[in-house]
Chain A
Amino acid sequence: MTVWLHLVALVLLGSLGGALWRVWRGPSQADRMMAAQLTGTGGVAVLIVLAALQDWSLLIVAVALALLAAVAAVGFAKSQSPDGAGDPEEIKPAGDWSDLNASEAGDG
């Protein structure tokens, strides 16, 4: 059992390596943020497997990591719009939404 769980933890770390490649390669900011999310989820999975292997108190660390990964995404979303408000319901969000407005006007 312990050998298998070690193997599972190793493969999960390999998948985190894939996330790092996406961080390096990712054309847009959103891709890099996604890779950070994968590191969060993958890290939680590795921590859970290690908790089963060694010490069950690692579960609390996994809870903390899961929380921080979510908050990181909120920080990213708020940093994207110029006024920093990053309010998803912004009437005129950053960037040119001209085509979208045109379509709304069309069927409005």
Chain B
Amino acid sequence: MADLATYALTAIGLVFFVAGTAGLIRFPDTFSRLHALTKADNLGLGFIVMGIGFQTERWSQLAVLLLIWALALLAAGTVAQLVARAALTTGKDE
């Protein structure tokens, strides 16, 4: 049962990850790429973390996994703001 959950969740995480990367490549504008990067990839990371969570043997591993995801979410939020502001102030090039 746990393996089934891992299969499903990592597959969904993979889909979001590839979508985020495709967005990063295909989007026309710097700021729209930023959306693709910080939102889709973190969602993908979240699903992969949940999928791998089913494989952990000890509670400490699960705690570290959730810590990683929380850090990634916090980092993405601040990074998006910082990079967007830096891109806005340095130049209007797309």
Contacts and interface: CB of A to CB of B under 8 A. Distances in A.
Interface string A57-82: 00110110011011001101100110
Given A18-B24, A38-B37, A73-B75, A59 B64 contact: yes
List the 3 closest A-B pairs by CB distance, nearest first: A70-B75, A30-B87, A77-B82
Q: Which of B6, B81, B85, B93 has the most CB of A within 10 A?
A: B85
A37 B20 CA distance: 12
Given A1-B3, A45-B13, A35 B24 contact: yes
A88 interface: yes
Given A30-B86, A81-B89, A18 B14 contact: no
Contact of A56 (B6, B44, B56, B75): B56
B79 A70 contact: yes
A63 B63 CA distance: 11
Looking at chain B's contact residues, the main secondary structure is helix
A60 to B, nearest CB: 7
A76 B64 contact: no
Contacts, number: 161
Interface in B18-62: 18, 20-22, 24-25, 30, 33-34, 37-38, 41-42, 44-45, 48-49, 52, 55-58, 61
Contacts of B76: 37, 41
B52 A94 contact: no
Contacts of B57: 56
Interface in B71-94: 71-72, 74-76, 78-79, 81-87, 89-91, 93-94
Contacts of B41: 38, 41-42
A92 B88 CA distance: 13
B22 A41 contact: no
Contact of B68 (A29, A62, A88): A62
Given A41-B72, A44-B45, A29 B17 contact: no
